[in-house]
């Protein structure tokens, strides 16, 4: 299930009647309830030979029919090889039904026919089935007799129609998606971006999910008719095109040349065969039933079916064999490229080692880098910080004390004689003449006399 909140229909076969299927509806997580019934043609009826018919009706009152489909395929005489002709002892082979390109859905109240046309993409091989539904299906209510006698809007070619298309998700997938592809007015089609309307999921219980958020963009009066067309069309496509079966057409009697859903009137006295008559509603008639031609032998049909199945299986095996061969070829090519790259790397390493042994490593070391002067504008990476001038001895005591020649206590041990000190500081307290030093003298304000810097201790 795509989403339990979306409207979803489940197709389930009835346990009591093999020709009956019930469609169960659920939405917003509700319990499943019977909504529609699918009735198939009774194969025992003489008018059901060489036909495919299915009708959708009410789940409770099954006599109420909302829509139905009738398909009468064309038949083709198969061509046999010489060996197959010998096996048949010269007897003509059984005719093979040709699956038509499309079919017609007959809706009731209001009566209208929806033609479904199938096509296959030559580029991707994906199949699709498109159909159109008119925007206006009901007449406007009016008391005028002239308005009531006007042409039904369904039959008018000027009524705008909405185009839909069922598309298979992939070439080998059994799932489909229905899109709204555009509009059509008077045969002129206008393509629009695809809008998802419904999704069909194949499984043990096939489901059709209506994508309700996009239904607001579908401008159609007959919403019930659109729902019947989606459900009935998905079932017919599944049985006829996705899973074709020999028993679908109830092959018996002479082949019929018609392949549309509308019956042709005959000149015989027997009543015409209408679509609802295929489901047991045909009125009784006193005219004798025409004799059916001799049916083909079941063994021939089974043999032809097995032959076609064998051909399909052989094609599938050939395709899988080609895919495996292509995968092996690509894997082998990648391995060869990897070996070639390793071989080249080994040759380069071998040549490098040979040149190293032959010429050695001399000349590879260019020696230390020369100490070139810095370029103008470039910053020197490492600069020696400038050495500050020594501070006065009176501002910082020396680490070693000298008691001799000082005359003061040991508390002033840092003021003793220090080797290399100026003569003015050898004997503290006795001023002597000393040479002036830059940075250690200052000029006074009166007369520019050079004065000695005073001690911070006194």
- pLDDT tens-digit map of 69-124: 999 888 887 777 777 777 777 677 777 788 888 999 999 988 889 999 998 877 77
pLDDT, residue 144, reads: 74
Local structure of 83: helix, strand or coil: helix
Question: Stretch 248-252: mean pLDDT, rounded?
Answer: 74
Q: How far apart are CA 195 and CA 99, in angstroms?
A: 29
Count Cβ neighbours within 10 Å for each residue of 233-262 and write b for 16 or more, e otherwise: bbbbbbbbbbeeeeebbbbbeebeebbebe
Q: How far apart are CA 70 and CA 74, in angstroms?
A: 13
pLDDT, residue 299, reads: 75
Lowest mean pLDDT among 19-23, 295-299, 301-305, 446-450: 446-450
Does the pLDDT of residue 39 top 50, yes or no?
yes
Question: Stretch 383-391: mean pLDDT, rounded?
Answer: 66
CA 266 to chain centre: 53
Question: Stretch 377-389: mean pLDDT, rounded?
Answer: 60
Local structure of 340: helix, strand or coil: helix
Return the structure tokens found at 425: 């500081």
pTM of the model: 0.53
Each residue of 260-301: pLDDT tens digit?
Answer: 444 444 333 333 334 444 444 444 333 333 334 444 567 778
Pair 415, 393: CB distance under 8 Å: yes
Bigger pLDDT: 35 or 94?
35
Q: How far apart are CA 131 and CA 114, in angstroms?
A: 7
Side-chain-side CA neighbours of 254 within 13 Å: the count stands at: 7
Bigger pLDDT: 182 or 436?
182
pLDDT, residue 48, reads: 82
Most distant CA atoms of the chain, gap in Å: 164
Return the structure tokens found at 451: 């004065």
Pair 14, 22: CB distance under 8 Å: yes
Query: Is residue 166 classed exposed, middle or buried when 0-12, 13-18 and 19+ CB atoms within 10 A define those classes?
Result: buried
Question: For the chain, how are helix, strand and coil distributed in percent, rounded to 5?
Answer: 25, 25, 50
Q: How far apart are CA 37 and CA 231, in angstroms?
A: 11
pLDDT, residue 174, reads: 87
Instruction: Name 356's Cβ contacts closer than 8 Å, sequence gap at least 6.
Output: none
Residue 200: beta bridge partners? 176, 208
Q: How far apart are CA 449 and CA 61, in angstroms?
A: 135
Nearest to 300 by CA among 111, 126, 93, 118: 93
Which one-letter DSSP state was computed for residue 238? Answer: I
Question: Stretch 375-387: mean pLDDT, rounded?
Answer: 60
Nearest to 42 by CA among 58, 55, 59, 24: 55
Question: Stretch 174-202: mean pLDDT, rounded?
Answer: 92
Q: Which long-range contacts (CB under 8 A, 24 or more apart) does 43-48 make?
A: 43/250, 45/278, 45/280, 46/289, 46/292, 47/273, 47/277, 47/278, 47/282, 48/250, 48/278
Local structure of 316: helix, strand or coil: helix
pLDDT, residue 361, reads: 73
pLDDT, residue 385, reads: 63
pLDDT, residue 232, reads: 95
Q: How far apart are CA 1 and CA 199, in angstroms?
A: 10
Does the pLDDT of residue 417 top 70, yes or no?
no
User: Cis link prior to 110 (omega < 30° from 0)?
Assistant: yes
Identify the sign of the CA torsion 326, 331, 337, 343: negative
Interior CA angle at 35 toward 33 and 37, to 5°? 125
Instruction: Name 4's Cβ contacts closer than 8 Å, sequence gap at least 6.
Output: 26, 28, 29
Does the pLDDT of residue 392 top 50, yes or no?
yes
pLDDT, residue 378, reads: 53
Side-chain-side CA neighbours of 35 within 13 Å: the count stands at: 17
């Amino acid at each position: 299930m795509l989403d339990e909140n979306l409207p979803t229909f489940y197709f389930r076969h009835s346990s009591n009647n093999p020709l009956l299927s019930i469609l169960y509806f659920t939405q917003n997580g509700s319990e499943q309830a019977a909504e529609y019934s699918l009735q198939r043609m009774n194969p025992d009826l003489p008018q059901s030979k060489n036909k495919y018919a299915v009708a959708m009706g009410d789940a409770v009152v099954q006599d109420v029919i909302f829509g139905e489909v009738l398909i009468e395929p064309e038949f083709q005489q198969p061509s046999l090889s010489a060996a197959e002709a010998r096996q048949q002892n010269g007897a003509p082979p059984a005719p093979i039904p040709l699956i038509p390109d499309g079919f017609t859905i007959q809706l009731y109240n209001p009566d209208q026919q929806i033609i479904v046309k199938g096509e296959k993409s030559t580029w991707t091989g994906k199949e699709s089935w498109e159909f159109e539904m008119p925007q206006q299906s009901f007449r406007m209510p009016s008391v005028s007799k002239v308005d009531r006698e006007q042409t039904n809007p369904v039959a008018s070619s000027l009524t705008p129609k909405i185009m839909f298309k069922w598309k298979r998700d992939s070439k080998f997938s059994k799932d489909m998606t229905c899109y709204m592809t555009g509009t059509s007015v008077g045969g002129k089609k206008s393509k629009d971006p695809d809008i998802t309307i419904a999704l069909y999921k194949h499984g043990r219980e096939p489901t059709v999910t209506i994508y309700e958020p996009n239904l607001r963009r579908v401008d159609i009066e007959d919403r019930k008719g659109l729902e019947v067309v989606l459900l009935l069309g998905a079932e017919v496509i599944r049985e006829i095109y996705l899973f074709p079966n020999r028993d679908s057409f109830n092959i018996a009697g002479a082949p019929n040349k018609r392949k549309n859903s509308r019956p042709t009137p005959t000149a015989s006295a027997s009543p015409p065969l209408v679509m609802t008559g295929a489901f047991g509603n045909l009125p009784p008639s006193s005219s004798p039933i025409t004799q059916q031609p001799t049916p083909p032998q079941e063994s021939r049909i089974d043999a032809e079916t097995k032959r076609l199945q064998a051909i399909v299986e052989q094609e599938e095996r050939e395709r899988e064999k080609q895919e495996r061969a292509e995968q092996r070829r690509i894997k082998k090519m990648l391995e060869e490229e990897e070996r070639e790259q390793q071989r080249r790397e080994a040759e380069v390493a071998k040549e490098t080692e040979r040149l190293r042994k032959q010429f050695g490593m001399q000349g590879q070391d260019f020696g230390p880098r020369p100490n070139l002067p810095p370029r103008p504008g470039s910053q020197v990476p490492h600069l020696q910080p400038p050495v500050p001038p020594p501070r006065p001895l009176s501002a910082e005591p020396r680490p070693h004390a000298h008691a001799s020649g000082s005359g003061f206590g040991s508390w002033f041990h840092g003021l003793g004689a220090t080797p290399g000190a100026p003569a003015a500081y050898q004997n503290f307290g006795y001023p002597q003449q000393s040479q002036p030093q830059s940075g250690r003298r200052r000029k006074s304000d009166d007369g520019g006399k050079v004065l000695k810097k005073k001690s911070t201790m006194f």
